[in-house]
Structure 1
Amino acid sequence: MNRLVTTVLSVSALALNTAAFANESVLKNSADPKQWVIQAGNYDNNRYSKLDQINSGNVAKMVPSWSFSTGVLRGHEGSPLVVGDVMYVHTPFPNIVYALDLNNDGKILWKYEPKQDPNVVPVMCCDTVNRGLAYADGKIFLHQADTTVVALNAQTGKVEWSVANGDPKKGETNTATVLPVKDKLIVGISGGEFGVQCHVTAYDIKSGKKIWRAYSVGPDDQILFDPEKTTALGKPVGADSSLKTWQGDQWKTGGGCTWGWYSYDPDLNLVYYGSGNPSTWNPKQRPGDNKWSMTLFARDPDTGMAKWAYQMTPHDEWDYDGVNEVPLVNQKIDGKDRKLLVHFDRNGFGYTLDRVSGELLVAEKYDPTVNWATKVDMDRNSPTFGRPMVNAKFSTEQNGEDVNSKGICPAALGSKDQQPAAFSPKTGLFYVPTNHVCMDYEPFRVSYTPGQPYVGATLAMYPAPGGTHMGNFIAWDATKGKIVWTDQEQFSVWSGALATAGDIVFYGTLEGYLKAVDAKTGKLLYKYKTPSGIIGNVMTYQHKGKQYVAVLSGVGGWAGIGLAAGLTDPNAGLGAVGGYAALSNYTSLGGVLTVFALPD
């Protein structure tokens, strides 16, 4: 009981010592490398830790320290949080939250288990994953599968407020984390495969009151664009910039979902994120650029108004969602110090932009097999500046409905899906978990019915040409758009990376290995096979002077949907079941947190 009281008091003290607004709470706590209070580690979304007790010289000695079963199968994405002496662990549906006492062998302090309608499960695309919790102002924030946003008292687990962010009966669900910014909580939505008009919403952290909502597609007053002040590639977007790129009222079922990651620059007071695919997957049914799906946004978190936007894949024909993370770095490029934003898009191009203005600086392939486009036009005097140059052979629209376009690279799950990269300021490099996978894609005509799938394509996936491996873990120079080194993996790398001041980078594999590699060379320094495939994100923390590394294992997600949901049809899981059929020879379902440390 004394230990329990001490732990609760330590969490309470954290809450009392932080300022009133969550941005200051997150800034203060994320600056302490002993803790991990939001999913990316900090607002920059760099997934970098200053801890160096475990380093390239001793990581080979690292051993499992303790573990915890979540009691849930299916895919375990995201990572635990550590606030003071308490670890917070989440699960896939039904989205259980555990508070574990780090002073008492991980004893459960409290458990929150929401009661959700199981009918939400069939509406969730690509497994029942959840990408994790966030902490601010003494609260743990969870966005449930059924779109209920919950604020839990970090000491007791008591619900302080909850609000419905969407309606699963219309196809609206959630798989993403949330981001506390100032006195608001930034929240997205899933449902692009169900024809949802998707959005980002800000709720008051104290009360749960909705402050603003910005849609990805639609009229200016819904997408929160100022026609004269919001820019795209340096030019005002003009009135009705989205509506002009949709036929009739198609924007109302236009997709552009926001189930990825969010970054925040406190100095510029801008939130950054990407939007997903337009609905349907049959491009013939939705002529136009379909703005602003497949787009990077910079928004004012106080008002939701967009400062700038950049559409990476106009008129998407391949399901190349643009929701992947947007790390913020300050680096020299072309001899100038710049505030940069880096984005590894599903479409296979690595983008570097000026995050102040939205100026496009670099756009290069980060997997050499990418073939759907030859390049991104980087001629600033060209009318197609910033647009990908589509290879007609791999255009699913030009080839036509009911025609199977073969050999498209990457597959719909992209050269990288949501699994976040890491950045090390020591090397200046990004460490990127990637998919080395191609596909056949056959679009067909589909009609919209609320709450029913609105896909309109059949897919098959397989390894990219030139080998049997389906994944690479790469180091990337974002100022030059160049791969520095590559480590091949048998399956896609579906785990989020972690870079540390110890000159090592951690990541997990679909077979279940936690790996540590040298940050400069990519040399393998350590591996350990956990109980199930890893699609979670590696994190680190320090407790009582000792550094720990933790990761959730539990195979699933899009790549592991066959195992997670017991599917056998090769075309099921939007083509992933057949592509990853061999995965069942290496791992099975699980839901386990494994924590590592150096031996005493």
Structure 2
Amino acid sequence: MQRLKLLAAISVAAMTASSAAIANDGLLEMQKNASDWVMPLGNYSSTRYSELDQINKDNVGDLQVAWTFSTGVLRGHEGGPLVIGDVMYVHAPFPNTVFALDLNDNGRIIWKYEPKQDPNVIPVMCCDTVNRGVAYGNDTIFLHQADTTLVALDAATGAVKWSVKNGDAGKGETGTSAPLVAGDKVLIGISGGEFGIQGHITAYNISDGAMAWRGYSVGPDENILVDPQNTTHLGKPVGENSGTNTWEGDQWKIGGGATWGWMSYDPELNLVYYGSGNPGTWNPVQRPGDNRWSMTIFARDLNTGMAKWVYQMTPHDEWDYDGVNEMILADLEIGGETRKSLVHFDRNGFGYTLDRVTGELLVAEKYDPAVNWATEVVMDPNSDQYGRPQVVAEYSTGQNGEDVNSEGICPAALGSKDQQPAAYSPKTGLFYVPTNHVCMDYEPFQVSYTAGQPYVGATLSMYPAPDSHGGLGNFIAWDAAKGEIKWSLPEPFSVWSGALATNGDVVFYGTLEGYLKAVDASSGDELFRFKTPSGIIGNVNTYEHGGKQYVAVLSGIGGWAGIGLAAGLTEDTAGLGAVGAYKALSSYTNLGGQLTVFALPD
């Protein structure tokens, strides 16, 4: 009887998303229900904000562990669970197990899906075997497996409805990102920027998995889905062959631009927003030119995939500053008027605020004072340097066209922030950003391309930024209208978890040592901390069940920062340079894979 009730509850929750069609119609309503957590980043705007306020700044210090759940996997646990009615959906790193848990029955496992994947995909996963979560829509759970398979699972039973291969692991293409369900489509990107792939975003029909469209990051106009006259870059048409004419010869064919980050969606504009990653190879001497459209924010029409506008943040990237971090959509007061804005904290250390309708650049300021590779981003629309970062020659990694070791570059390749998503509170008007305070030495070397083999071409060493007293991270509050840090909390290690802001005037985040922390949204004063069994690189979320608010987070050290522990690496330059910087982590935490759920005492 209990199982029948659960199936009925799931079906009812899905009816709003099932009819003819448009799953988005249901999700538009479901995202308004603060009791659930229906998308990886909370809502289409990726704000990671909850209206729940039962847990607030006055009582958050009383939080206790309500229950826990082990995933059975000892690798990096990024992402976080979804909550749909009485069911929680939890995912794990490779082999990408998915669990449906009954919230009415002490987290009993309703069903478990464990794909059988070729373990040979593990060596071509760049920075641990992570997965950033599942998506929900139309009574279906969508999972992007490591081997690039996109699978649609019946939300009530876990049965496979359909599956489709999104890439070729033999070429270094892998799946680590969370899908986005919008309209009658499910969208997914591709990982593999270190293997000379061509990045792309692909839309599949929810009903049967048929491909609706695919837009590449680099290549001919018809492949990247741009209109030379109607797709704009900083207000001007991109012109013909924009995706090939800043590459030397056919270098674009192995040009990278992977799309393994987060996606956002504005239903009023019908635009999907996401970023592309680094160009291949990491050795900039081997690929002269701007290397468009790697390192770029894309705004694409959901129905057709055509790009309305693009903005390249780091032309001719020389530092591996992937542009894939989340795009937070918020209406902000800028220059005396309310602008439909997009806020993006890039790996390159600049916090960008753009008009999400037109792509106009409104703000571009450093959100970590240590950033030194560029002095500024030119904001004068009349300048031929408009929108371009002004690179400091000393920190160029392709100096004078030669392979030299450039020292003291800030930030390191893992950026002032990597994929760990920020949060935005409309109540305070502030963005809460988990950051890395890390610098590097970067020495390129010549590398040749072989399909399925690493196409990196650089050796890196990472270490704390100067004047940081050895600390590798900060958790900051950011004013995106002014481009200013309001407050900053130093941490001994990078803050690699996703933040959560709530209507209770509390902001949550996790640390690499394993602490879940709660701070005052206005002042940053610490209100609560609890050490979970392993380092936290997952994203904190919250939900309400049975009239009670809960806070949930996955712990399990790994990801790029924790790759040394997760994969047993010891050389300082291993893990693309990260192992040396985070070697001390082994003194504070250990491998794990656990969901911890907190609540106030009864």
Question: Which 10-residue stretch deviates more, 328-337 or 401-410?
Answer: 401-410
| Aligned amino acid, residue 100 of structure 1 | L
Do the aligned residues in 1 keep the contact of 2:135 with 2:181 (CA within 8 Å)?
A: yes
Q: For residues 432-453 of structure 1, give each alpha carbon's deviation from its aligned partner in whole angstroms, at most 9, with x where no partner exists.
A: 0000000000000000000000
Aligned to 1:177: 178
User: TM-score scaled by structure 1?
Assistant: 0.99
1:403 aligned residue: 404
Matched, 1:492 2:491: no
* In structure 2, distance between residues paired with 1:400 and 1:578: 28
Structure 2 equivalent of residue 419 of structure 1:
420
1:438 matched residue in structure 2: 439
Question: Deviation at 1:16?
Answer: 2.2
Deviations 1:516-570 (A, max 9, x none): 0000000000000000000000000000000000000000000000000000011
AA matched with 2:345: F
Q: How many percent of aligned residue pairs carry the same amino acid?
A: 71
For the Cα contact (< 8 Å) 1:439–1:461, is it kept in 2?
yes
Secondary structure, in 3 states, of the residue corresponding to 2:566?
A: helix
Deviations 1:143-164 (A, max 9, x none): 0000000000000000000000
- Cα shift at 1:4: 2.1
Contact 1:97-1:113 at 8 Å conserved across structures: yes
**Is the CA contact (8 Å cut-off) linking 2:395 and 2:407 kept in structure 1?**
yes
Q: For 2:129 and 2:16, how far apart are their aligned partners in 1?
A: 36
Aligned counterpart, 2:244: 243
Q: Give the one of 556, 559, 562 matched to 2:561.
A: 559
SS of match in other structure, 1:60: helix
What does the per-residue CA deviation read over 1:6-59, in whole Å, with 9 as the maximum and x for residues that have no partner? 122110111224353121121111110000111011000000000000000000
**How many Å separate the matches in 1 of 2:48 and 2:400?**
41
Q: 2:9: which partner in 1? A: 10
Checking the alignment, whether the CA contact within 8 Å between 1:256 and 1:293 is kept in structure 2 is: yes
Partner of 1:297: 298
Residue in structure 1 matched with residue 161 of structure 2 by the alignment: 160
Return 5+ residue gaps in structure 1 as ranges: none
- Match runs of 1:73-152 below 5 Å: 73-152=74-153
Distance 1:331 1:233 in 2: 19
Q: Name the residue aligned to 1:69.
A: 70
SS across alignment from 2:332: strand
1:392 and 1:398 in contact (8 A); partners too: yes
Q: What amino acid maps onto 2:60 in structure 1? A: V
**Cα offset for 1:399?**
5.6
The within-5 A match list for 1:476-555 is: 476-555=478-557
Residue 71 of structure 1 and its aligned partner are, at CA, apart by 0.3
Check conservation: 2:193, 2:257, Cα contact below 8 A. Answer: yes
Matches within 5 A, 1:16-415: 16-20=15-19, 21-398=22-399, 401-415=402-416
Bigger CA drift: 421-430 or 400-409?
A: 400-409
TM-score (norm 2): 0.99
Alignment-mate amino acid for residue 412 of structure 1: A
Equivalence for 1:593:
595
SS state at 1:573 partner: coil
Once the two structures are TM-superposed, the CA of residue 401 in structure 1 deviates from its matched residue by: 4.1
For 1:392-434, what per-residue CA distance to the aligned partner results, in whole angstroms no more than 9, with x for missing partners? Answer: 0000011654421100000000000000000000000000000
Query: Deviation of residue 578 (structure 1)?
Result: 0.5
Structure 1 residues 297 and 83: CA distance shift in structure 2, 3 A: same
Q: Deviations over 1:229-283 (max 9, x none)?
A: 0000000000001211000100000000000000000001000000000000000
In the alignment, is the contact (CA less than 8 A) between 2:17 and 2:137 conserved in 1? Answer: no
Q: CA RMSD in A?
A: 0.7
Q: Does 2:581 align with 1:582?
A: no
CA separation in 2, counterparts of 1:115 and 1:222? 32
Alignment check: 8 A CA contact 2:18 2:139 kept: no
Answer whether contact 2:285 2:403 (CA < 8 A) is retained. no
Maintained 8 Å contact 1:4/1:101: no
- Count of residues in Structure 1 that have an aligned counterpart in Structure 2: 599
Structure 1, 382-391 or 398-407: larger mean CA deviation: 398-407
| Residues 399 and 405, structure 1, Cα contact 8 Å, conserved in 2 | no
Distance 1:27 1:122 in 2: 39
- Work out the CA distance in 1 between the residues paired with 2:499 and 2:210: 34
Q: Secondary structure at the match of 2:481?
A: coil
Residue deviations 1:462-512, cap 9 Å, x none? 000002100000000000000000001000000000000000000000000
Deviation readout 1:166-212 (Å, 9 max, x if unpaired): 00000000110000010001110001100001100000001000010
SS in 1 for 2:577: helix
Report the CA distance between 1:111 and its aligned residue: 0.3
Distance 1:288 1:335 in 2: 38
Once the 2 structures are TM-superposed, how far is the Cα of residue 5 of structure 1 from its aligned partner? 2.0
Question: Within 2, Cα distance between the matches of 1:347 and 1:258?
Answer: 16
Distance in 2 (CA, whole Å) between partners of 1:401 and 1:531 is 46
CA distance in 2, matches of 1:15, 1:385: 47
Residues 44-84 of structure 1 show CA distances to partners (whole Å, capped at 9, x for unaligned) of: 00000000000000000000000000000110000000001
The correspondence of residues 450-461 of structure 1 with structure 2, limited to 5 A, is 450-461=451-462
Partner of 1:473: 475
One-letter identity of the residue aligned with 2:455: Y
Name the CA distance, whole Å, in 2 between partners of 1:188 and 1:399: 35
Amino acid at match of 1:226: D
In 1, the alpha carbon distance for the partners of 2:413 and 2:190 equals 20
Contact 1:129 1:175 in 2 (8 A): yes
In 1, Cα distance between the equivalents of 2:401 and 2:217? 27
Instruction: Report the 3-state secondary structure (helix = DSSP H, G, I; strand = E; otherwise coil) of the residue aligned with 2:576.
Output: helix
**Partner Cα distance (1:25, 1:215) in 2:** 29
**Residue 570 of structure 1 is aligned with which of 562, 569, 572?**
572
Provide the secondary structure at the position in 1 that maps to 2:202. strand
Secondary structure of the 1:18 match is helix
Task: Name the amino acid aligned to 1:386.
Answer: G
Cα contact 1:201–1:214 (8 A) shared by 2: yes
3-state secondary structure, aligned to 1:452: coil
Structure 1 runs of 4+ off > 3 angstroms?
A: 399-402
